[in-house]
Structure 1
Amino acid sequence: MSFTRRQVLAGLVGLGVAGLGAGGVRYWLGRPENIATHDYELIAAPLDLQLVPGHVTPAWGYGGQAPGLELRCRQGERLRVRFINKLDVQSTIHWHGIRLPLEMDGVPYVSQAPVLPGEYFDYDFICHDAGSFWYHPHTASAEQLGRGLVGPLIVEEREPTGFRHERTLSLKTWHIDEQGAFSEFLVPRQAAREGTRGRLTTINGQPNPTLELPAGQVVRLRLINVDNTVTYRLNLPGGEARIYALDGNPVQPRPLGKEYWLGPGMRIDLALKVPSPGEELSLRNGPLRLATLKGVASSEVAGDWPPPLPANPVAEPDLARAETLRFNFEWAAALASPADEAAGRYKYWQINGQAWDINDKTCADRPIATLKKDGHYIFVLRNMAQYQHPIHLHGMTFKVLGSDRRKIIPYFTDTYLLGKNETARIAFVADNPGVWMFHCHVIDHMETGLMAAIEVV
């Protein structure tokens, strides 16, 4: 007898694997020999923030903070996280950029049942790749990410890298008004365009902070865009900075240059040579200041640029034998009927003529493409609109080959910022079986159609 994925998920709920109140045996999954373990208990719960002085914002956080608790483990180690849901709504955790088994991917009705209020779920997986990653729900994403359910996951390299200092900087723009109250996370007419933008930009939950860094040292800055919508045009006028990794994957170090466009879901690791004591640099989004980086006296000998970071163990696609598939990302406003809009079922975007229905739990049963396990593939990504789409693939890492809009030095990533009217080529080895989400990480684009399922069998 064969079973559908839906029946398997229903069976898991019946066994009580997902919740505190459902009964059944509770246990940590087996611990392999010779693999160190980092255990975390990650609680999602309401949290009052003071983002606007004198006013309270009713946020949601992980571990009593928003953005959430920074999780860390070392490359090759098993990460075990018990997620406890103390919200009044169901939720999950997706581990953005991590190559893991499908059942740990955190997509409700695809890889697991939703974690209901008062219940918990044990996430357990090996972190194969070192780098800067992050975590967030894949349930009612516009609201849940918008309220603060985001957090960094740092996977440290197996051996010392030469960086003696580092800081993790989570970039988020909040949908709040001047009194700190939340505004709408998804405005239909904006979702059909660039996405619904917030009003107040923060780093690690603080508007325009001053970050003190040891003068003369080379500091690793891990910048993570955990925002629903905003693409940050990162620049450091007068600063000496080099790019060491993009989206968790090392690159040959090179100068930051004039600016780097960091779309939602994307990450960049910079090496910054900190200026003399008392000197300041401005980390900016275009012309707007995000933070002040200030050199403070240090007793250490001035540092030098570390060597390139070691490559992650990602399979190299064989382009000579790769199969090519094409994907068009386009408007689909005509698909949204008055009845759909009245019910909040907006369909403004589509991939290859198919608009994902965020309210339909069976969409993943109809994948847009079925790939052979260990097959080699080239995806041609064509943006047929004037708005940017950070395209993210779950479960696997792909290599960006080229673009018709800009020069590309090929690199591995899990999220590519597809510019307006741009066509780009990516390639990868489909080495992770399962049904994986393939979507834009502008959250209200995703929730209004710009998502599909890719099956690897």
Structure 2
Amino acid sequence: MTRCPVQLTRRHLLAGIGAAAVGPAAAIRAQPQNPQTLALDATPAPLLLGPDRGETAVWSLRTGGSSKTPRFRQDATIDLTLHNGLPAPLVLNWHGIDGVPSIEPLTARRPASPGETDRYSLPLRQAGTFLCDGRLLGDGLAQSSPAQALIVEERTPVEVERDEVMLIEDWRLDVEGLPIAPGASGKKVGAPLYLVNGKPSLDLTLRTNERLRLRFINACQRNAIALGIQNLDVRVLAIDSQPAEPFLARNGRLVLAPGSRIDAVIDATIPAGTTSTITLHDGGSPREIVQLHVSADKPLRPAPLPTPAPLPSENLPTRLDLKTALRVDMPLASSVGTPTSWGPPPHFSTGLTPAFRAKRGRTVVLTLTNPAATPMVFHLHGHHFRLLDRLDDGWKPFWLDTLLVDAGQTQRVAFAAEVVGPWLVETMAVEWSARRQVRWFAVE
């Protein structure tokens, strides 16, 4: 059966994020010796922002002088080195790595000054698709701050022929055609330009009944996006670096808030010689970003593989005690920085009053209210949460670390405060000129 192309509006984007949640993937394989190392260089690098533009020097995060995606095995511990070759302070902000207070930006890791190097140990206890970026201090700078994916592979590999990362970024140019950072800069910017793995579009060729794992990452600075995958079943395996009970994406649609990640598998079941398109929607004009071509070669196997088994989940509780939970009202900051309990990351200090303090092992329920006229993104550091049902009598069957809260909307989330330490929470409006805001909480 042929599906019609998905047409998504801004309203669809918001609803989808609340409900759901390319060339060959390059790998830097972890070597069997101990310790394992990962060197990240924040440095200007040339990038082609479109077919009708020349190369532009943009700020980037590179591994060993390249843009390849680092890959390691679960249970590895990495000696990580970050060298800041940019003309601004930089601190890495990790998405998806739970319970490691020593890597927490601003509370444990101070920003690296230009020319400085930061070193620390990074334990990889959970497999998944992770993201790190340098955007906590990036508002209003000369350029957009960089992002980089990191893949931690399962102990037992998932049965797929190919495993592809799709890191999607947005860029805005000023009136002179130069990239500009988000935040209240006062400069006029053009429409967003989207790149996938540093390219305007990607092409993949598959054989009939080949299985493909796609790791989608919304590394956009501010934009929520939806991806419509034409004429193919899309089965979600994980959201925000944590396994989900495998389920089919409705109408082949995936919706991601800024910073969100979704792992999915696709079987090449359309007729040989045909093409499926992955289309990006942001509430404006749709953009075709990936072509999946099924070759006329002999099928890889007579029939598609069976439904994949759930990925193993090892670091999150099966139940949350909502009856005895600490309940905290947390209105999200508006784009102009109110309420005053939120503040810009460069001014952050743990000397400020925390949003709350929780005893180790206690469940925490946050009531997130968006008082602004614009959707807001909420990101919880060091933990994953359940999105609670409206009546507070259950939760959605997946874990998240990032959530979009619509204008005037209230959402409730719950998490287990398992690791002692100070932790950040972030919020920002889904608009280019909005500033990122942070608070902190303590697990004691």
In the superposition, the TM-score normalised over structure 1's length comes to 0.79
Given candidates 250, 254, 261, the residue that maps to 2:247 is 254
Alpha-carbon distance in 1 for matches of 2:272, 2:351? 55
Taking the aligned partners of 1:265 and 1:93, their CA distance within structure 2 comes to: 13
Contact 1:39 1:80 in 2 (8 A): yes
Q: Write out aligned runs for 1:263-278 (5 A).
A: 263-274=257-268, 275-278=270-273
The 5 Å alignment of 1:299-338 reads 300-301=300-301, 302-304=303-305, 305-315=307-317, 316-331=319-334
2:170 pairs with 1:173:
yes
User: Is 1:362 matched up with 2:349?
Assistant: yes
**Structure-1 separation of matches of 2:418 and 2:33:** 23
- For residues 342-361 of structure 1, give each alpha carbon's deviation from its aligned partner in whole angstroms, at most 9, with x where no partner exists: xxxxx71335x523134424
Q: Does the 8 Å contact 2:143/2:180 carry over to 1?
A: no
The equivalent residue for 1:157 is 154
Map 1:66-77 → 2, pairs under 5 A: 68-77=67-76
For 2:183, the aligned partner's letter is L
Give the aligned partner of residue 212 of structure 1: 205
* 1:58 aligned onto 2:57: yes
What pairs up with 1:62-101 in 2 under 5 angstroms?
62-63=61-62, 68-101=67-100
Q: CA distance change for structure 1 residues 298 and 88 in 2, over 3 Å: closer, same or farther? A: farther
Q: Secondary structure at the match of 2:323?
A: helix
Q: Give the match for residue 293 of structure 1.
A: 292
Q: For structure 1, which runs of at least 5 residues remain unmatched after alignment? A: 1-33, 332-346
Q: CA deviation at 1:35?
A: 9.5
Q: What is the match of residue 367 of structure 2?
A: 380
Instruction: Give the corresponding residue for 1:224.
Output: 217
Does residue 414 of structure 1 match 2:401?
A: yes
- Checking the alignment, whether the CA contact within 8 Å between 2:276 and 2:291 is kept in structure 1 is yes
Aligned partners of 2:235 and 2:246 also within 8 Å: yes
The structural deviation recorded for 1:412 is: 1.2
Q: Contact 2:378–2:425 (CA<8 Å) still a contact in 1? A: yes
Aligned AA for 2:311? L
Q: Which residue among 123, 132, 136 is the counterpart of 1:135?
A: 132
Question: Is the contact made by 1:228 and 1:441 (CA closer than 8 Å) also made in structure 2?
Answer: no
1:171-210 matches, cutoff 5 A: 171-176=168-173, 180-183=177-180, 185-187=182-184, 199-210=192-203
- How much has 1:136 moved relative to structure 2? 0.7
Q: Deviations over 1:179-200 (max 9, x none)?
A: 7521453246899xxxx88521
1:364 and 1:282 mapped to 2: Cα distance? 51
Q: CA deviation at 1:248?
A: 1.1
Check the 8 A contact 2:133/2:147 in 1, yes or no: yes
Per the normalisation by structure 2, the TM-score is 0.81
Distance 1:178 1:272, change over 3 A: farther
Q: Which residue of 1 aligns with 2:378?
A: 391
Query: Which segments of 5 or more consecutive residues in structure 2 lack a partner in the other structure?
Result: 1-31
1:402 to 378, 382, 389: 389
Percentage identity across paired residues of the two chains: 23
Aligned mate of 1:111, from 108, 112, 117: 108
Out of 401, 425, 435, the residue aligned to residue 448 of structure 1 is 435
Aligned with 2:275 (options 272, 280, 293): 280
CA distance in structure 1 between the aligned counterparts of 2:338 and 2:432, rounded to whole angstroms = 9
The offset of 1:96, in angstroms, is: 1.2
- Quote the Cα distance in structure 2 between the aligned partners of 1:312 and 1:247: 15
Q: 1:198 to 1:370 in 2, by over 3 A?
A: farther
Deviations along 1:39-95, whole A, 9 cap, x unmatched? 111111111212233422220112279994312222222122211122222212122
353-362 or 226-235, larger mean C-alpha shift: 353-362
Specify whether residues 255 and 171 from structure 1 end up closer, same or farther in structure 2 by C-alpha distance, changes over 3 A only: same
Between 217-226 and 139-148, report the one with greater CA deviation.
Answer: 139-148
What SS does structure 2 have at the residue aligned with 1:103? helix
**One-letter identity of the residue aligned with 1:270:** A
How many Å apart are 1:443 and its aligned residue?
A: 8.1
The alpha-carbon distance between structure 1 residues 389 and 164, as it changes in their structure 2 partners (threshold 3 A), is same
Q: Which has the higher helix share?
A: 1
Residues 302-336 of structure 1: CA distance to partner in whole angstroms, max 9, x if unpaired? Answer: 541322212232134222221211111253xxxxx
1:3 is matched with none
For residues 359 and 184 of structure 1, do their structure 2 counterparts lie closer, same or farther at Cα, with a shift above 3 Å needed? closer
1:236 paired residue number:
229
CA RMSD, Structure 1 to Structure 2 (Å): 3.2
